[in-house]
Structure 1
Amino acid sequence: MALVGPLLAVVVLTAAPAGVKAGELPWPKWLVAGVVAAAGVLVAVWTPLVKARTDALAARTTREAEREAQAEAALGRLPTLKRKALLVRDMNDRALLGIHEAIPLPTDSDSDNTLSAELPTYVPRDIDADLRAALEARSRTGGFVLLVGPAASGKTRCAYEAIRAVLPHWRLLMPPDGATLNEMVAGDADLKHSVVWLNETQNFLAGEDCLKASMVRRLLADTTKPVILIGTIWPTFYDQLRIRVTTADEESEGGHAFDKDARGILELARRFSLGKWSDQEWDRAKEMQSVDPRIRQASLHRGQTGLTQILSAAPELVHRWEQAETPFGQAAITAAVAARRCNHPENMPIAIIEALAKEFLTDFQRATAKEDWLTDALMWACRPVHHSGGIAPLQAYGKNMGQIDGYRVSDILVDHKSKSAPIPDGQIAPDIWETLAESATPQACLLIGMGAYSAGVLGVARSAWERAANTGNAEAMAPLGVLLHNEGDAEGARTWWQQGADAGNTGAMTALGAMLHDEGDVEGARTWFIRASNAGNANAMTNLAGVLYHQGDTEGARTWWQQAADEGDADGTAALANFLYDQGDTEGARTRWQQAADEGNTQAMANLGVLLANKGDIEGARTFYTRASNAGNANAMTSLGMLLSREGDAEGARALWQQAADEGNTQAMTLLGIALDREGDAEGARALWQQAADEGNTYAMTVLGVALDREGDTEGARALWQQAADEGNDMAAQALRGFIEVEE
């Protein structure tokens, strides 16, 4: 007799304090069915000392005073106007804003002399209305607005014109790095009605002084003191910063990813895209030709590229690079472009350009080069593309008068990718990566390692991070440990995580704590979780809360989950929701699951689907199951398969269960086995049940026991039911009792 009956519902709550049973199957009369995913264990099982929490509170009190002083110092480092707070309406410094230099006004122009020599007349963009409406709405509560587009597409100018139109009387804060803003927020500086200018947002999200997601969430949480963050970023950087740097065995939720801050911050943003100039935008530019001769000049090249690119001399810059008069000058520009594409910081030491330029010269060119080839090449590359104005492929920089420290390459060229470019289609050869990692400063190697990791050049990522870590850079030690861990070098990972933790890196502390826990070193693991939590690492707080819960300290667990949720950690928020559900607070759980789902936690989406399904809201459940399934959550695939099965879509259900089973989900294996059994594939079903049972799924043990019993293997069935019953499976216990009753 085959196992029959549609599976009515499934509840999949992972990382939860307790499971929830739902659904029935018409098993034999002594077997009451319910398909439930086993509740996952967040982390270890110990109770921290009360003294540790008391000491932590005292330490936080001391730190508050220090942070207030740091906040005042950070505010003092921001640009001001005559020592007063800078207002949006007062800012007109193109360079300080980060707007590209424009082609110069014609010297023989008889146009209105009120035209700005720095900023051409603004041509309205298609997104202006929506962007300004978004700023207007966020002026009441605060928020983050991000403009995404290629180099010289007009992102910065568009953002500037928007805040000037909507928020002219707000303060304009222009932090030099993420650490400065972190200090202001941590010290509770009053930033009400401030615009935080994050032009080239990627520069705030990477490196040692990066912006923390918890600080951004904290800043935006107080809607009574609205603050608006506005930033710009290239699409390539946006995609790169959303790539996870995680250990190989990390689940999709939780674990110790070291790039959570960048991804978490980007997920908070309301995005606006600026790309190719539309016909409507060009028509508006045409109407303004009589106002500004630069607009008239740029409009002559309509169709070649965007108007803002033309105003920024993009065609001339590209021509200078691609059709270079000298191979050595071209090699110098190409070297700088390649280094930036490999994530080298904007400031390029001369040694880097020299080392990489040689890679872009032929053997003959290297052999016949003059002694001063590099000097001549750099002078040529720094020559402006217009006789008046300063737009050039390379620009020198330096801290001391008359001393050049290095060069900056035009980001128009960095973003230019074509078959005719010296670096075709933007591809960077492995030897270029290697030369850069060997030649760059250890500090730059942190970012180069990140670029290499996202590009899949893992050997270079490792060598770059090793160079940085060997000089004491704790920010490099954490991801280096991840890389080694993924390569199977557990001891190497431990060494770097230990060094990073000793140096104060909270990501390394959390990773080391997880490793020690897996090895059974309870006290060592707890020590690092507590240290990282006290230092503000929300991921460590979530792990520590799980530790406390499983030891029985529910109040301590709730406290840390609550704090992690307040810091904006989606995993902590989801775990808190699970805790509230277990305590009977269904509405509180629903609120927190919704919050975690909005922050991208796929298990929270799956759990919301379960909650809605149990309330009879099948369409609402389907929505969340689908979102989580599309994001790769195997539990949601299993639940969505159950929903489809109930609706009679056997093929759809089977496809989802197969996908989830391929991901290692033992509950899906069990259900897929049932589907195969119904189709007469007893061997296929048995193989799946056996695999799931071997991995500890007690429901698979129970079903496999049923299969053995119907084949006459009563002892095998009894052994499986006994094992599952011993592990707390009620279905198996009832099956075992029914078996005993039959015997009697």
Structure 2
Amino acid sequence: MDDGELRGLAADLRQQLTGPAWPAVRARVAAVDKLAASELELLAFELGRYGDNPRVRGVLTEWVRRFAAQGPSGRAVLRETIRAAAADTSTRAPAPPAAPAAELRAPAADREARNRAVARAAAEAASADIAAAVRQAVVRADNDVTGGVFLGPVVQTGTLGAVHFGPPAPPDPAVWMPAPGTDPVVLGARPGGGPYVRRDRDAELAEIDGFVLVTGEPLSGRTTTAWAAMARALPGHRVCVPPPGTDLRALAPHGGGPWVLWLDDLEGHLHERGLDTGLLARLTGAGVPVLATMSDEAYDRHRFGSSPHARVLSRARTVELSLDWSDDELARLAEPREPRYEEALLWRGATGVTQYLGLGPELWAEWQRARRPANHPRGHLLVRAAVDLALCGTMAPLPEELLRATHGLYGADASGESFEDALAWAARPRLGITGLLVREGGGWRPYGSLLADALRSDAVPPTPDAVWDAALAHEPEAVTTVARIHYRSAAEAGDPDAMFRLARLGGDETWLRRAADAGHTGACGELGGLLAGRGEGRAAEPYLETAAEAGDARAATLLAKLLQDRARHWLTTAARAGDPEAAHRLGDVLFAEGDTDGAFDFYLQASHAGYAAVAGSFGALHRYQGEEKVALVWLRRAIDAGDTRRPEPLEPNRLRSLAEADEFFRGDAERGCGLDPVNLGVLLENHGETDEARTWYEKGFALGDAYGAFRLARLLEKDRPGEAAAWLRKAAAAGHPGAKEALAAAADTVEE
């Protein structure tokens, strides 16, 4: 039976135990196995009294596992029992089971080893029937019945008014369990443990006689340690496990064989009818060991003074169990090769091994349930962000601002809870031990068990790429190695985005080309740029075009430059072959690049060939060279031919004064727009305003214009050569070509 089916059957059965179908279920189970029915009855009692809780769920799941394993038809009988009882709750005696009862009965030795606390089953079952009869009588007489269990018949003689019952009686010896086969969970230990790991204090528990008390901090493992000692030292004993509040006065030595009294959380038995010095003396004097556990805090609270509790505790041989494990204990922990033990060694942090093993499942369950809108949805996302960032490979504690930014990348609605409230919830220590998030070094870490469980669980969705990006930006060196491993498997499975990310992480052109060939537009842009930079323009063009069509502006620019270079090549070829239109267009290219002589030659070639369309370009070139009278002739020809792109006369509103030029640049310069801060500085320097010019040069350089540093170098080179040289180096470092050329040509003349 797999775990999913097992949990499903247990959940269905749990509903029947607290509903009207319970009597029918009990009858059917009893027809197959009376001891199993007694165990189930105890579980129904605990559900009714204490409500649903993890301990009851764990024990019930184990009961289903054992019952279904008794014979080949076990699962079928259990399913039919639940189905039939749920369908007909009015029938108190169900139909016979689907398989013979003998087929499902386990050997006696197996039944004795069942991991269930049946200590109270007989007493509770007997008292339940009596209680029902008395309740009917009392109701008829308008009486009030409260508390306890019935230890004998009750006779109604008129109106009693109110009937009060004392604490429950001890379990019947008929249902005491063999000490070696008792499940530690039934005795009070937390579920989910693996093989017992020997503790250093076990030597003090080699013999259990008299009154032995094991103490320790919460989750120190005291119950499990006491259970292991009992199993070793008292293999022939049966164990009596009374629940807290039991009337222990009826306990007495008897002839049914050796037995041990187990009192987990002893403080629950230190009451008026519980363990006192007289009872302790009678039991230990008759050779009955009393084995108990107690938290350090409860022990200190009850041990000292003159109270009856203190007198009882003073007679105990006390073994104190530490949270801290010695090196020898840690070495033994690694021996069973249990995954959770190995995880505890790796992930426990500042907490103890037993704290990790006991609290880890609780933290995981709380975190998973916190996602609901009525619970802590933002807290859930906050912890998820911390877990994902840690699993991405971050090593240092996570800054609060990183968590604040990252937890919003999951796209879930967490509007009902503030970030501060979510962080406080996540950091609150559970059981006084640790929170889901742990404060460390000014930042936060997720508790280690959450990381171990997340690595093992399928319930955690994959980490979004945006979170990987945040982790890489925060700790690039540490995260890169993990990210390569993460993306490689997806890339090898054919995911283009994973290919692209893997290529960027490792600079791997092979993965970049595979991603581009698979149609990833980002990869197309990067590969196209890489090829263009190596002079492989023809190979780059299709990749750049794909990226440009997807909106990649840089790819579009690179593609245009490549095409422009190709156009220039072919225009030159055509012009030299005598084509006048090619000569005109090539002249425009050269004119735009500042090669006025080359432009003049090709314009003249077009003119001599009678290509009239060159008139406007030729006129603009003459005007640029100050040859206005010649320019007007060409421009008039162009205008008369319908080319109105260039006016014949100069426009009357051209900027002519310093004030007009200043106004033209200053507005955009003050707003920090583009090149205008440095342009304004040049205008001011040209008119002797060097102090204000320097201010604008510095502002322009701060905004990213390398020309500002270059102009500062030129402004200061006469009076402050050292400072000028420093500015020249800054301009060169920022990419200004004039500064680079000046440094290369006169490096030995520029001094600091």
* TM-score of the superposed pair, with normalisation by structure 1: 0.27
Specify which structure has the bigger relative contact order, considering alpha-carbon pairs within 8 angstroms and separated by 6 or more residues. Answer: 1
Give the structure with higher Rg (CA): 2
* TM-score of the superposed pair, with normalisation by structure 2: 0.27
